[in-house]
Amino acid sequence: METLVDDIGSFPLPHRVNRETFNKAYQLAREAIVDGRDFRKDEFIRTNFYNVTINSFKRKIRTGLDVVNSPWHYDGIRQVSDAIHKAMEKGTFVVDEKDAFLPEVRVIEAEAKSLSEEFGKKILLRACMFGPMEQYLKEIGTVPYGDVLDNFAETIRRFAKNSIVDTKYIKTAVVSVDEPSFGFLNINAESEVLCEVLEKAFDFQGAVRQIHLHSSSRLPDLLEVGNIDVLSFEYAASPKNIEGVSRKMLEDADKQIRVGVSRTDIDSIMAELRDKGVTKPTAEQLVESGEVIKKRYVSANEKYGDRMTFTGPDCGLGGWPSQEAAQLLLKRTVDAVKKM
């Protein structure tokens, strides 16, 4: 089976777009969708959120990605927590079905026919969101409250389910739940409890179900979660991560793997360049060479074989200095993998 190249999601805003203006337009778009209004008719929303999202998505499609994540320009936690805070006003952490959606996915769905015709193919979409444990850590902390954890899991399940689109023009091929703190900062609950939380969060059908981690230290715990199809971790910036899971472990649990093969840790990359005297790096200097990326991919592919069904950059690119640099990284990653 061919290894598909996808991306994790976040992407830099265009230089001309003010962060505060975008955030305001995003929030107004969410309110309009909840109220059943056509947010495309609002000029402020259309200029500062709708068009920005579509133009960024097109940039990502042009890199050759097999599965393209809706571009995160808004704060990843707040994509979900804004709706959670609204639910909290009613005394619950469970977000209403009608409120559990990602505005970016609604924009791409609205433009699906145009996008499909422009690029001459059915668009394969990846939707992602921070998961129940990450949201819980931000809102509650590390002390476990079973009923509250269950509420967060149900909320994420609703967001995931409502991110699945399947028409003649677009299909949500992957839904990823991101748990970057898992393995570093954990809720003080038994592994069995946390696995039950994820089992519920991933209780949906219609797309490949990925979980993305920054560390593989507790990845073996997740092999017991039946509803997870693909385990994903960073490898390019954290080479030791690959030691945490073997092909046999995946085969025994009937799981697949996604391995990050290109570095996205922009702060470290820029610090390394500064140490070499490069204070204003170009996009070409920021992005690793195709040969370096290809070497990592070959190494991971040799270890996991047909269990490695996805690959791509380590993590998102929201902190990168320009869209051009982020786009170059995506394209170089695609090219390195496809040369195999």
Q: What does the pLDDT read at residue 1?
A: 66
Res. 2 pLDDT band, cuts 50 70 90: confident
For 127-159, the pLDDT digits (tens) are 999 999 999 999 999 999 999 999 999 999 999
Residue 337 to residues 3, 264, 297, Cα–Cα distance (Å): 8, 16, 7
For 297-318, the pLDDT digits (tens) are 999 999 999 999 999 999 999 9
- Beta-bridged to residue 174, according to DSSP, are 126, 208
Closest CA to 59 of 114, 127, 115, 3: 115
String of DSSP letters for 58-115:
HHHHTTT-SBEEPPB-S-HHHHHHHHHHHHHTTT-SPPPGGG---HHHHHHHHTHHHH
Sketch out the chain's domains with CATH numbers.
Answer: 4-338 (3.20.20.210)
Residue pair 156/94 in contact (Cβ under 8 Å)? The answer is no
CA dist., res. 276 & res. 270, Å (int):
10
Residue pair 218/224 in contact (Cβ under 8 Å)? The answer is no
Label the pairing between strands 256-262 and 4-5.
unpaired
Displacement of CA 29 from its chain's centroid (Å) = 21
CA dist., res. 311 & res. 301, Å (int):
10
Model-level pTM? Answer: 0.96
Predicted confidence (pLDDT) at residue 198 exceeds the cutoff of 90:
yes
Average pLDDT over residues 200-228: 95
Res. 43 pLDDT band, cuts 50 70 90: very high
Closest CA to 224 of 260, 250, 201: 250
